[in-house]
Chains A and B, each alone.
Chain A
């Protein structure tokens, strides 16, 4: 489209950027409180509380309320977790699980009070490996078994162990047609979200009304959960989430909201605050630890014939979100043209703390495993790995096979890909990295210098980001008499400038200056319900789509008002720049007769939009499908004496459809890519079973990347927009951009290490210890 835009496509800083930089911005922790909460946590990974005595804690001066499992409502809090939860439970399922909680006039007194609580525990056997935990004789974390069955068929409730299964074509036939078959196993550790702002909330009761201030990605989920557990109408609960210091998939409804609200209630409604310490934050939620078994078949000419995938993911004690990693299985089908595929995704509870999504569900693990095997298949076929991928990757216009849609998988009907220039992305990365000059063949270093060997790798990923569940969100917009717009959003800005992006969309669509658009979000009293909240990059895709639908309705209302005055039919009226004029005339003539809004309307015009109940496929024209695509390339240097991996240069190419705010888009890609490099190399998660301790509960020992660790990183943004009206499908063809950057880290680093050493890493993070062990192993893979 050659259309010229005046507001979108420009890198405009978010309105709150300045106050965030100066510290004027008030986060939840800046708000006043009367009481402070501290939580007594389980010292055992699996235990039952036999006796608990809080009398001494209650008597301590300054303590206002103490709660244990005996004090909580007999109602299971829905949502937020895979398993419904009591606010407190005598059955403790991980080290750090909540045992009791105290509200006091200072944090220090609350901490002192915790030391006075006496607990007798019955220690139970624990299990930490998801594959072990899936076995029938494993210690039972839930009476009905540890396997969390497919959500669309919750077999776990009946005690039936079953994986989430996705199958199409005929997997056996696929392998029988293959000339080359490679199978291998892979493991990834958990990754901690490590948001700068720890989990926090303040609760207070006035009469029978509960107010919650929290840093949260899904305020409506918090409202729904608390209203249910306290047996009150949702209308009596108000949840505000003013600013969030990073979420990354870690900030949903959680027990601590309910603990805080109950303590607040018991202390007469006083403002009560919980703020996690860094140690609590680092042992509260994580991306899944998982194991993957992959088998891929291809013909001599390079055509893929079958992909088999089996994975075990640890949900931890509770498991947040839908409680599963089922989405991961979909990846190969989405990423490669293959007609025969089978997935088994086992989601299993363990005695680790809870797993949650983190910039997508388990995609980085899947990309790591599948791309590693794709590499091995290419090697067996003696094909350049980039050429092999080019041959098998779908691109814009290709028709994807239908995938079964289930409640826990984003399936889709047979659909033509839109905004998926995968092959162009591959070529861009190859050129930028100098692949054709540097690639020396399989397992052969680009360069050798004493003990140092350099290797390059390129991987590709394509998956869903920017889910369009328009049936689960609503947006409202109001046009004022002066033509300015107020947006009442169900979505939430979690610090990624989605509010600014939304304002840019509105300004562009209405043809008005950006200053004339305001957005209201992060408060359930706005009343635009949003089931999923700010996750899966749906703020822009779903929220933006609904916003433009609402604005289109406003335009239509104005057209109807203006049409008789202009003497034309409504469809001939153009709305732009706070005026209505006749579209069919030459613009200069039309503008002479244009009617300003001020003369047309005498009140605000309001419209709301939501999809059909349960609707999930509005993102594009019927029969089409938007997907995110990304190609990443890296050059590394491995020190063969120490196992250290130095990152020399990295290139990624990504397609955002339309980049509404290019710097925001780039920032999302880069931030996610850096996160994934941390996941690949340094972010080791260490639980010591003997000490019953998570040793990586601080930034001292959980090593997120520092600025100096990041290699020169070129981020190529390739736009590809469809030819359709902006309000039909994703807005202006924009795609979600928060996730795809983080998919490639482990895969691309492993690929480059392979080409440096001729040996393949099968466990991530690839710490120097593991790389040195691989070097010393001596056997070629």
Chain B
């Protein structure tokens, strides 16, 4: 991106479509295809449109699809509607109880004003490498439900992202996030390092550990803002599974995160710094998750 020759702040004219049913929404998405953008909270889309970074001819507002705004526990699954606001997540006891790291992410997600408007579906579909809700969802092996006129499919969230701002959704509407909840002892933790309060992440990290007989029975580590998409740190995970829980093992495994990430230097931080603190963050989150699992 070079300096914009023309600094625009006015939105190009577009047609607003406000479906009241999912079917109507899918019809519009199928009809207008690439000329279309979906708007939920609009906290990401509107600034992009003002800068004319995107210039859709049609904007499909899913605001009226209230049936997509829910958090519920169904059997051993936690299901979150795509239109659920970040603030709802922050205030949900079910999420705090079952998915603590996602709750922690909601606490530091932008500002109260944005949390009142932004949705979890929007945070996923924006597909920013630094999305704050995503690492927690990844460590829970979350899946997303994509619906289009031909039908629906459920895919692992990890397979949803294809690059910065890019994902597999085509004429699809992301309707639901499905989080499997296990029965055994597990602990989670999330932390974001940023320049100051309410900022986007330099690096964010979520960890989920399951413990049995003083060993790691399962470990999931995910990071944001260190690659072209949110990623799992599988090198770290592999080193820890079935290993004894101790400081040495955690320290050694945390160092391995370097093989999972590929950070860049940008306005928020540097490649070197991101590499350094990724190690620190993974270590700290592992320790915190273990501590929580053991409680």
Contact = CB atoms under 8 A, between A and B. Distances in A.
Given A114-B5, A709-B197, A768-B273, 9 more contacts: A96-B3, A279-B4, A642-B276, A642-B277, A691-B2, A693-B1, A701-B268, A709-B196, A772-B277
A29 to B, nearest CB: 13
Given A700-B200, A768-B273, A111 B193 contact: no
B280 A682 contact: no
Given A642-B280, A709-B196, A277 B7 contact: yes
22 contacts: A38-B6, A41-B3, A41-B5, A95-B3, A96-B3, A107-B9, A107-B10, A111-B9, A115-B6, A279-B4, A642-B276, A682-B196, A691-B2, A693-B2, A693-B3, A701-B268, A703-B196, A706-B197, A768-B193, A768-B195, A772-B273, A772-B277
Interface residues of A, number: 41
A364 to B, nearest CB: 19
Contacts of A552: none
B7 A280 contact: yes
B35 interface: no
B212 interface: no
A47 to B, nearest CB: 12
Contact of A769 (B2, B4, B196, B273): B273
B9 A703 contact: no
Contacts, number: 83
A641 B196 contact: no
B270 A769 contact: yes
A772 B275 CA distance: 12
Interface residues of B, number: 29
Interface of A: 38, 40-41, 43, 95-96, 106-108, 111, 114-115, 277, 279-280, 641-644, 681-682, 684, 686, 691-696, 700-701, 703, 705-709, 767-769, 772
A644 B272 CA distance: 15
Interface in B181-223: 193, 195-200, 202
Contacts of A693: 1-3
Contact of A111 (B6, B195, B199): B6
A21 B268 CA distance: 34
Contact of B7 (A41, A700, A709): A41
State the 5 A-B residue pairs at the shortest beta-carbon distance, nearest first: A695-B267, A108-B10, A706-B197, A708-B197, A114-B6
Nearest to B270: A769
Contacts of A107: 9-10
Residue of B9, B195, B197, B280 with highest tally of chain A CB at under 10 A: B195
A681 B196 contact: yes
A696 B280 CA distance: 27
A663 B252 CA distance: 55
B8 interface: yes
Contact of A279 (B7, B10, B270): B7
A505 to B, nearest CB: 39
Contact of B198 (A41, A681, A706): A706
B269 interface: yes
A40 B268 CA distance: 28
Nearest to A114: B6
Contacts of A681: 196
Contacts of A641: 277, 280
A749 to B, nearest CB: 14
Contact of B8 (A96, A111, A706, A772): A111
Given A107-B9, A642-B277, A43 B2 contact: yes
A703 B277 CA distance: 20
A106 B9 CA distance: 12
A615 to B, nearest CB: 44
Contacts of B199: 703
A681 B197 CA distance: 12
Interface SS of A by simple majority: loop
A697 to B, nearest CB: 8
Nearest to A113: B6
Residue of A38, A96, A682, A768 with highest tally of chain B CB at under 10 A: A768
Contact of A691 (B3, B196, B276): B3
A189 to B, nearest CB: 13
A91 to B, nearest CB: 18
A384 to B, nearest CB: 32
B8 A642 contact: no
Nearest to B111: A706
A691 B202 CA distance: 21
A574 B200 CA distance: 65
B276 A772 contact: yes
Nearest to A700: B200
Contacts of A40: 5-6
Contacts of A703: 195-196, 199
Contacts of A114: 5-6
B48 to A, nearest CB: 12
Contacts of A111: 6, 8-10
Contacts of B266: 695
Interface in B66-86: none
Nearest to A644: B193
A680 B109 CA distance: 25
Interface in B10-44: 10, 12
A643 B195 CA distance: 11
B55 to A, nearest CB: 12
Given A642-B277, A681-B196, A43 B5 contact: yes
Contacts of B198: 706, 708
B2 A692 contact: yes
Given A696-B267, A709-B197, A43 B10 contact: no
B215 to A, nearest CB: 26
A215 B4 CA distance: 26
Interface in B256-295: 266-270, 272-273, 276-277, 280
Contacts of A769: 269-270, 272-273
A111 B11 CA distance: 10
Nearest to B279: A641
Contact of A682 (B2, B7, B8, B195): B195
A644 B267 CA distance: 17
Contact of B195 (A95, A695, A767): A767
Contacts of B272: 769
Contact of B1 (A95, A115, A691, A708): A691
Contacts of A768: 193, 195, 202, 273
A7 to B, nearest CB: 40
Interface in B87-138: none
A627 B5 CA distance: 46
A681 B200 CA distance: 16
B103 to A, nearest CB: 19
A710 B268 CA distance: 20
Contacts of B269: 769
A108 B12 CA distance: 8
Contacts of B7: 41, 277, 279-280
Contacts of A684: 195
Contact of A43 (B3, B12, B200): B3
Contacts of B196: 681-682, 703, 705-706, 709
A686 B3 contact: no
